[in-house]
Structure 1
Amino acid sequence: MLKVLSNRTYRHLFLAQVIALLGTGLATVALGLQAYELDAGSAGAVLGTALAIKMIAYVTVAPIATALTEQMPRRTMLVGLDIVRAAVALCLPFLTSVWQAYLLIFVLQAASAAFTPTFQATIPDVLADEDDYTHALSLSRLAYDLEKVVSPLLAAALLTLTSYHNLYLGTVVGFLASAALVTTILLPDPKSMQQRSFYERTTRGLRLYLTVQQLKGLLALNFAIAAGGSMVFVNTVVLVQTVYGRGERFTAIALAAFGLGSMVAALLIPRLLRFIPDRPVMLSGTVLLAGALLAGLLIPSYWALVALWAMIGIGYSLVLTPSGRILRRSGMPEDRPALFAAQFALSHACWMITYPLAGWMGATIGLSATYILLATITALASLTAARLWPSAEENDSHIHFDLDADHPHIAGATAFGGGYRHSHAIIKDIHHP
């Protein structure tokens, strides 16, 4: 897996991602402490609103930002957005009211909503080989999971030496270091040959996403992992401290078990995908999620819950890690930023539904009923994905009659009936309307 880091461009991008994630993790810890300082009696409500603002920014800003920056060089865009995020982080320690926090959080998350899809869409252009790209997806999943463990530990160590305000300096340094790494490399900038209106550019990713069979299936899979993941992220503290009577340290251990399961799956997925197509691997992940949620009804002890959370982590990663491969195959290079932005927005829209559902159901009708409801949602989403994304359509054989023999898209195609026959995953573009 680590051989992919021999590619200098990808290595710098990966290091930029890791450093920026660590900085974001420090800001998450600092923000919780600052919310308590600003309004101790409503700290939970402040954080809840901040998370809602984050999701709103992710869902609404990503497609618009992608359209606005379609003709901008990717390196310039990524560096500029890192600088914006660093500037916002530099302002956070000086907040004096809750509304200021909400405003800055929206700006910060809006910048992230523009940065992340562009960053993700760049990787498949840097790593043309699918095996290399699969390894990159696994490394990215590992980076996200490790950040959940390392950032709180690093924050705890720093808080023994300084106040939480200085954690934001770590965030600033992280974003600036990320920007510096990106400036040291050249990035590909595929451009569409068609001139499109702002409306077309804004909606193109969503329109492409919702007309491609495997991407409609991917949307259902996103809903499945949101249902399974929400049970973990929303109700772990209630299960651990109320149901099983354990302390805060045991809550952290349970959440770490979920991350560990996700990391184990991410390590195994590149080898697994050499022998099994993406579709059955991802569908098996949703089956594991649904089964684990139903098994939650029978959990007798805290340590059984820890094992169950690890299983949910495995299922979560089995679905999430290969999703970039599906997006990569579903559009031409110039369409990838729009497709990744659509995936970013739609996947977070799923979480906007399942987060409050998991919390409200757990508080009103009980955790057992919540397990059943979320397991049912996961199973139905899995069945919907299987129906929307038929296995027969993973590769589509077709003939091009309108392309010259030397056109790069039909390299390796076979002459047939006055055209050129070849096969690839279904995509929607100027050559495949």
Structure 2
Amino acid sequence: FEIFAPLNNKQYRLFFTAHTIALLGTGLSTIALALFAYNLDNGRAAEIISFALAAKMVAYICVAPVIGAYAHKLPRKYLMIFFDVARAAILFALPFASEAWHIYVMIFAINICGAGFTPLYQATLPSIFKDEDEYGKALSLSRMVYDFENLLSPTLAAILLLSLDFSSLFQLNAAAFLASALALGIVVFPANIASDRKSGIWHNVSFGVKSYLKTPRLRGLLSFNFIAALTGALVIVNSAHYAQNIFGQDKSVTAALFAAIGLGSMIMAFALPHLMKILTIRNIMKMGAALAIVSLMSFTLLPSLTGLFLVWFILGMASALLQTPSGLVLQQSSTLADRPAYFSAQFTLTHMGWLFAYLVAGQISQYMAIDMGMLILAGASAVMLLVGLKFWHVDDAVKLSHTHVETQHLHPHMHDEHHQHKHEGWEGPEPHVHEHRHPKVKHSHNFHIDEHHLRWPH
């Protein structure tokens, strides 16, 4: 299978192993937390879990841009190892929690680590591969493992709890993060590339989000990712309600619905490496959006449990098409030095979309019939598809002709095509900082929003 070809790369194999172990640890800890909250105070279990999930979103939205802002100045390898070790330490301490607020603090801390670890993993991945096709296959493999973890974690947690108590399960989760840290310790990370960004806390923290939103194809990508959030939130929030309250089934049918969407996503993950050879990423995402819209509308033709399974399966396929190629678009849209800031911006903005989508999905199940709710989401997804296509033009080009006005400024820099000037001898080794002049020039190259390209050429 083509999807497994990247595992021939030793560094990626270790990197992939570390991420997979950490992902499984995260899945187990989420389930264990829910059961632990019920055990601690079954009357307030739902309140504790909902607050913990809200804390997770706050951590993801607020912390990721800060990590991305300074990732180019910090050793990524040791930072990722630190996040793994910190999560392990928190999980070791979690069984000693005796109050609800203890759980809130610990879960918020765990998710701060997750908000730092995940964008760094995503930003480092393209640096391991020189070939874009191999990177595309690695993205598909990561997607498949993510879906497999979603399917496996609940079953594995249930099996483990037959012979382990909560304390042992949390210790096992902690051991998973330590194993991930050990695997990362063996990986040879690509060297950090110096960024030419100016100093200043707010400038660095806001750089990723501002640059992301100034890039038309990334605004289109965000629109497509929002469709994935709307449909994904529908599944996560409403599967149990639809299966048990609408169709009168038991919990096993709820689990089967989650399996259906996971299976659809995994099948499409296998197909994506081939699709990427014959279709543009824009067309792949457009196909994913169309699949999502058609599947939601089709439920009105087959308003039954069978129809629901079919819709969920197709939404899984659509989700893989909408989300998996995102890394390639971000790689195409950013310089190597600024890539962590862009990936962190993607992480933050998409989770803001998921937060909104969760609220919408909850209201749909509360106030609308199942078929009407799906039609509303199909309409919203169609609007986002049109917005995405408007931002991300069909003739989108990476290499653009543009003009630089004459500028004199001061910032860290290397002597690349934008920095050809004389020195007096005191400036020191590169990258160095001194005031320098840029003459007016018109040229063409792969265009990214950065310190020298502050707006998109029209």
Please state which band the TM-score falls in when normalised by the shorter chain. over 0.9
Does structure 2 conserve the Cα–Cα contact (< 8 Å) formed by 1:30 and 1:165? no
Offset from partner CA, 1:302-345 (integer Å, 9 cap, x none) = 23311210100001110100011000000100111000000000
Give the corresponding residue for 2:147: 145
Q: Distance in 1 between matches of 2:349 and 2:286?
A: 19
Per-residue Cα deviation, 1:191-236 (whole angstroms, up to 9, x for no partner): 2134421111101100110100100111111211111111111111
For residue 7 of structure 1, the aligned residue among 9, 17, 23 is 9
1:41 is matched with which residue? 43
| Contact 2:194/2:337 (8 A) holds in 1 | yes
Partner Cα separation in structure 1 for residue 120 and residue 194 of structure 2: 13
1:392 to 389, 392, 395: 395
Conservation of the 8 A alpha-carbon contact between 2:87 and 2:177: yes
| Residues 92, 101 of structure 1: 8 Å contact kept | yes
Q: In structure 2, what is the equivalent of residue 122 of structure 1?
A: 124
Distance 1:396 1:125 in 2: 20
CA distance in 1, matches of 2:111, 2:95: 17
Are residue 352 (structure 1) and residue 355 (structure 2) matched? yes
Residue 376 of structure 1 pairs with residue 386 of structure 2? no
Q: Which residue of 1 aligns with 2:86?
A: 84
Given that residues 72 and 193 in structure 2 are in contact (C-alpha distance below 8 angstroms), is that contact kept between their aligned partners in structure 1?
no
1:176 alignment partner, one of 172, 175, 178 = 178
CA contact (8 A) 1:57 1:109 kept: yes
Query: Do structure 1's residue 428 and structure 2's residue 453 form an aligned pair?
Result: no
- TM-score normalized with structure 1 length: 0.93
- State the Cα deviation string for residues 365-418 of structure 1 (Å, max 9, x = none): 33233212211111111110000111112434427899xxx9689xxxxxxxx9
**What code does the residue aligned with 1:312 have?**
L
Q: Deviations over 1:4-51 (max 9, x none)?
A: 112111111100011111111111121111111122122122211111
Deviations 1:158-197 (A, max 9, x none): 1111113321112101111111111112212122134421
Give distance in 2, aligned partners of 1:31 and 1:87.
Answer: 15
Higher helix share: 1
* Aligned counterparts of 1:297 and 1:327: Cα–Cα separation in 2: 37
* Superposition pairs of residues 17-416 of structure 1, within 5 angstroms: 17-188=19-190, 189-398=192-401
**In terms of Rg, which structure is larger?**
2
Q: Given residue 428 of structure 1, which amino acid in structure 2 is its aligned partner?
A: I
Distance in 2 (alpha carbons) for counterparts of 1:44 and 1:268 = 39
2-side partners of 1:284 and 1:293: how far apart? 14
Q: Give the whole-Å Cα distance in 1 for the aligned partners of 2:139 and 2:361.
A: 28
Equivalent pair of 1:228/1:290 in contact (CA under 8 Å): no
Equivalent position amino acid for 2:279 in 1: I
Report the more deviating stretch, 30-39 or 193-202: 193-202
Distance verdict in 2 for CA 1:29–1:421, change over 3 Å: closer
Where does the alignment leave 5 or more consecutive residues of structure 1 unmatched? Answer: 410-417
TM-score under structure 2 length normalisation: 0.88
Tell me, in whole angstroms, the C-alpha distance in 2 between the residues paired with 1:301 and 1:268. Answer: 29
Q: Which residue of 1 aligns with 2:436?
A: none
Instruction: Judge conservation of contact 2:80–2:117 (CA < 8 Å) in 1.
Output: yes
What is the CA–CA distance in structure 2 between the aligned matches of 1:239 and 1:386, rounded to whole Å? 32
What amino acid sits opposite 2:203 in the alignment?
Answer: E
Runs of 4+ in 1 over 6 A off after TM superposition: 399-402
Q: 2 CA distance for matches of 1:122 and 1:80?
A: 16
How many residues align structurally? 420
Alpha-carbon deviation of 1:359? 0.9
Q: What secondary structure sits across from 2:401 in the alignment?
A: strand
Alpha-carbon contact 1:296-1:308 (below 8 Å) kept: yes
Whichever residue aligns with residue 427 of structure 1, its letter is: H
Q: Which amino acid aligns with 2:258?
A: L
| Percentage identity across paired residues of the two chains | 37
Q: Secondary structure at the match of 1:344?
A: helix
Distance in 2 between residues matched to 1:299 and 1:236, nearest whole Å? 17
CA distance in 1, matches of 2:369, 2:442: 62
Contact 1:62 1:344 in 2 (8 A): yes
Letter in 1 for 2:101: W
What's the C-alpha RMSD, in Å, of the aligned pairs? 1.9
Distance in 1, matches of 2:402 and 2:387, equals 30
Q: Which runs of 5+ in 2 are unaligned?
A: 406-414, 419-440
Tell me, in whole angstroms, the C-alpha distance in 2 between the residues paired with 1:13 and 1:136.
11
Amino acid at match of 2:225: N
SS in structure 2 opposite 1:100?
Answer: helix
- CA contact under 8 A between 2:401 and 2:442: conserved in structure 1? no
Once residues 25 and 232 of structure 1 are traced to their aligned partners in structure 2, the CA distance between those partners, rounded to angstroms, is: 17
Using the TM superposition, name which of 29-38 and 192-201 deviates more: 192-201
Tell me by how many angstroms 1:68 deviates.
4.2
Deviation at 1:76, TM superposition (A): 1.0
Give me the whole-angstrom Cα distance separating, in 1, the residues matched to 2:98 and 2:227: 40
User: Could you say if the C-alpha distance between residues 419 and 204 of structure 1 is closer, same or farther in structure 2, counting changes exceeding 3 Å?
Assistant: closer
**2:448 corresponds to which letter in structure 1?**
I
